[in-house]
């Protein structure tokens, strides 16, 4: 019987599925990853209906809250964000327990499923601390109403710090800053920076206000004063005039996740933000690593020819870049080893690179991606996987992840859930 004669041949639900992170646990055990601190500086949760319903009461503006209630009843939280166009869905091909309708069987210990699911994945991957960020909100910076971005960001901050993060001290966050409303962003810094679970603040990079604008100076000053990092999280906007020339998700994603950070980093450098705020800690998230040698060479080369155009600078752009930090995922690993080695060298990765998983997103990296790099010393591996993040964020951490034993292991499900619509002839 060929696939054409068997209707369920391509159906996900016909595939037996066990603990989908069991192999990550095996990797961690074989490499001794449970023996030292691993900090994941960028993992995500999805704004599913349940968590969104918990967040809605924290929305202060009546009109925004009423719309959030309405849109959540009818569709999902994503209906409130900017446009996110998709193509060639991974649904069914990529599977994460508890995500996209795929079941999991987490035991109920009274904590929010988001917390239990996050801690479960961390334990399987030997991650001790995770810095958690939402998913659909990555596109919120595109919202044409600044008050909606600000209102949702503030409600999210309250909900996360009051209801979710107190449930487990291993989950931290960098809170979303609504950069289309600088005053609202500053208020979030002022109101939440003392929360022990808030280790920094995040700007989603898909947005159209230049980050060197003077209106952001009070925010940079406030963060510098508090010694708290400001991260820029890359994403893609397929509606961007340049990216809209691309006809595939792979193209828009591959370019968008680098160009969105390239633009902001270039503005930061050429306008001397590191000179004006020399103790401001900048972290660039989810652009991978291959963009860094390109940016360093490209900007240095032009700076040497047009030095007069960037008078705020007192050293090469690449020198400033080595004073910043970078998350590792999605780490490009397809080139020759010497290319990767040169990348690590030019960015001074032993000091500037921070491991990130991006779990549960489709291009996540397990800690083994760092640990298995043959050109790193054991000390460098441990610095990238955890030590650098501990220094940057300034919190103390013991190695607290423990490998779940087989009996305690949360399995996904005996069989995959049907994915609608099923693919097939």
Q: Which residues bind another protein (CB under 8 A)?
A: 1-4, 6, 9-12, 14-18, 20, 22-24, 26-27, 90, 92-95, 362-366, 368-369, 416, 423-425
Interstrand relation of 171-176 and 282-285 (parallel, antiparallel or unpaired) = unpaired
The label of the residue with tokens 């491991």 reads 355
Shortest distance, position 155 Cβ to another protein, whole Å: 33
What's the first-to-final CA gap in the chain, in angstroms? 14
Shortest distance, position 302 Cβ to another protein, whole Å: 35
Q: Which residue, 200 or 360, has its beta carbon nearer to another protein?
A: 360
**CA–CA gap between residue 387 and residue 41 (Å, rounded):** 12
Interstrand relation of 198-204 and 230-233 (parallel, antiparallel or unpaired) = parallel
Q: Which residue, 23 or 307, has its beta carbon nearer to another protein?
A: 23
Q: Which residue, 21 or 222, has its beta carbon nearer to another protein?
A: 21
- Nearest partner of 321 among 295, 286, 357, judged by Cα: 295
Q: Which residue, 92 or 317, has its beta carbon nearer to another protein?
A: 92
Q: Which residue, 2 or 241, has its beta carbon nearer to another protein?
A: 2
Shortest distance, position 301 Cβ to another protein, whole Å: 33
User: How far from chain centre, in Å, is Cα 355?
Assistant: 11
Q: Which residue, 204 or 413, has its beta carbon nearer to another protein?
A: 413
**CA–CA gap between residue 144 and residue 124 (Å, rounded):** 40
- 111, 170 Cβ separation under 8 angstroms: no
- Centre a 10 Å sphere on the Cβ of residue 89 and count the other Cβ atoms it contains: 12
Shortest distance, position 364 Cβ to another protein, whole Å: 7
- Nearest partner of 236 among 211, 265, 258, judged by Cα: 258
Cβ-count burial of 76 within 10 angstroms (0-12 exposed, 13-18 middle, 19+ buried)? middle
Shortest distance, position 237 Cβ to another protein, whole Å: 23
């Amino acid at each position: 019987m060929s696939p054409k004669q068997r209707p369920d041949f391509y159906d996900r639900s016909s595939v037996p599925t066990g603990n989908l992170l069991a192999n990550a646990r095996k990797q961690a055990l074989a490499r001794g990853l449970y023996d030292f601190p691993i900090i994941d500086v960028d993992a995500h949760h999805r704004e599913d209906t349940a968590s969104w319903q918990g967040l809605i009461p924290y929305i202060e503006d009546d009109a925004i809250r009423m719309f959030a209630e309405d849109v959540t009843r009818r569709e999902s939280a994503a209906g409130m964000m900017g446009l996110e166009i998709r193509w060639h869905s991974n649904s069914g091909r990529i599977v994460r327990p508890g995500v996209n309708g795929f079941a999991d069987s987490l035991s109920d210990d009274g904590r929010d499923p988001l917390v239990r699911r996050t801690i479960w994945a961390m334990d399987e991957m030997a991650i001790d601390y995770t810095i958690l960020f939402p998913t659909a909100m990555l596109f919120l910076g595109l919202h044409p109403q600044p008050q909606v971005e600000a209102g949702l960001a503030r409600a999210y901050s309250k909900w996360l710090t009051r209801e979710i993060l107190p449930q487990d001290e291993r989950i931290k966050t960098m809170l979303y800053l609504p950069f289309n409303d600088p005053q609202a962003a500053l208020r979030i810094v002022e109101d939440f920076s003392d929360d022990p679970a808030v280790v920094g603040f995040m700007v989603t990079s898909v947005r159209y206000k230049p980050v060197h604008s003077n209106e952001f100076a009070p925010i940079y000053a406030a963060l510098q004063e508090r010694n708290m990092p400001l991260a820029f999280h890359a994403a893609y906007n397929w509606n961007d005039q340049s990216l809209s020339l691309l006809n595939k998700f792979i193209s828009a994603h591959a370019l968008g996740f680098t160009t969105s950070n390239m633009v902001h980093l270039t503005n930061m450098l050429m306008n001397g933000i590191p000179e004006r705020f020399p103790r401001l800690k900048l972290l660039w998230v989810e652009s991978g690593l291959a963009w860094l040698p390109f940016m360093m060479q490209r900007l240095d080369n032009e700076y040497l020819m047009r030095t007069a155009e960037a008078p705020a600078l007192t050293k090469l752009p690449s020198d400033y870049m080595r004073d910043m930090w970078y998350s590792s995922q999605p780490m490009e690993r397809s080139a020759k080893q010497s290319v990767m080695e040169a990348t690590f060298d030019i960015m001074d990765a032993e000091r500037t690179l921070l491991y990130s998983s991006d779990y549960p997103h489709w291009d996540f990296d397990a800690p083994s991606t760092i640990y298995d790099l043959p050109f790193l010393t054991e000390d460098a591996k441990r610095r990238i996987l955890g030590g650098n993040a501990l220094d940057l964020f300034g919190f103390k951490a013991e190695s607290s992840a423990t490998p779940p034993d087989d009996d305690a292991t949360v399995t996904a499900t005996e069989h995959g859930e049907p994915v609608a619509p099923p693919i097939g002839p």
